[in-house]
Amino acid sequence: MKLRSALLVACMLFVPAVAMFSHRIPADMRKAVREAVGHGVAWWQGPSQALAASPTPSVAVAAPASGGTAAIPPTEPPPPVVAEAVVVEAPASQAAQQRRDLERRLEELGGMAFECRPMQGLGGMHVASCRVPLDTSGQLMRVFQASGAGADDATRALVSDVAAWKQRMALRGPAGPAAAERRF
């Protein structure tokens, strides 16, 4: 009974504490504990499973003469191949150019995370959305959404909504502690 109680206390106190403060445990100590637990598990499983639990994986390859398999340690992976991307710009259509201009205008207005997608079940209707920071820190965001008969119409409506909101905010004056004092 005492063993069960000790195990219960360990599971209820020690394990959550380690989980909460694991970022403060030094990396070399975490690695040593992982290896110790791995060796303990391998010992507990027995010698037949010790190779499977070893830290360096091995590859089983069929031996042609004996018909059995042999464990061969893996070799170093080949160095990564770095390919340079060649960008070839095709002539843009008028609609694509207008869409880029609308997205650029939205960025100028402070729009972030722009998305335009088709609405399900409404043939051809699209919804466009973006976030605009309310303050200079970017902590507070306002989400704008607009819909239209196509992607261009939805984006155009979104840009006009954001521009109208920005204009209203400019007419109100600066926000902040001084503005809050004027209201009261």
Asked if residue 158 lies in contact with residue 118, where contact means CB atoms within 8 angstroms, the answer is no
pLDDT tens digits, one per residue of 38-96: 887 777 777 655 444 444 444 444 444 545 555 555 556 655 655 555 444 445 588 78
pLDDT tens digits, one per residue of 1-38: 888 888 888 888 877 887 777 777 787 887 888 888 88
List the CATH code of the domain at 94-173: 3.30.160
Structure tokens at 61: 């390859």
How is the chain split into domains, by residue range? Answer: 2-70, 94-173
Query: DSSP letter string over 46-106?
Result: -GGGTTTTSSS--EEEE-TTTSSEEEEPPPPPPPPP-------PPPPPHHHHHHHHHHHHH
User: Rg (Cα) of the chain, in Å, rounded?
Assistant: 31
The answer, as to whether pTM is greater than 0.75, is no
Q: What is the 3-state secondary structure (H, E, C) of 133-176?
A: ECCCCCCCEEEEEEEECCHHHHHHHHHHHHHHHHHHHHHHCCCC
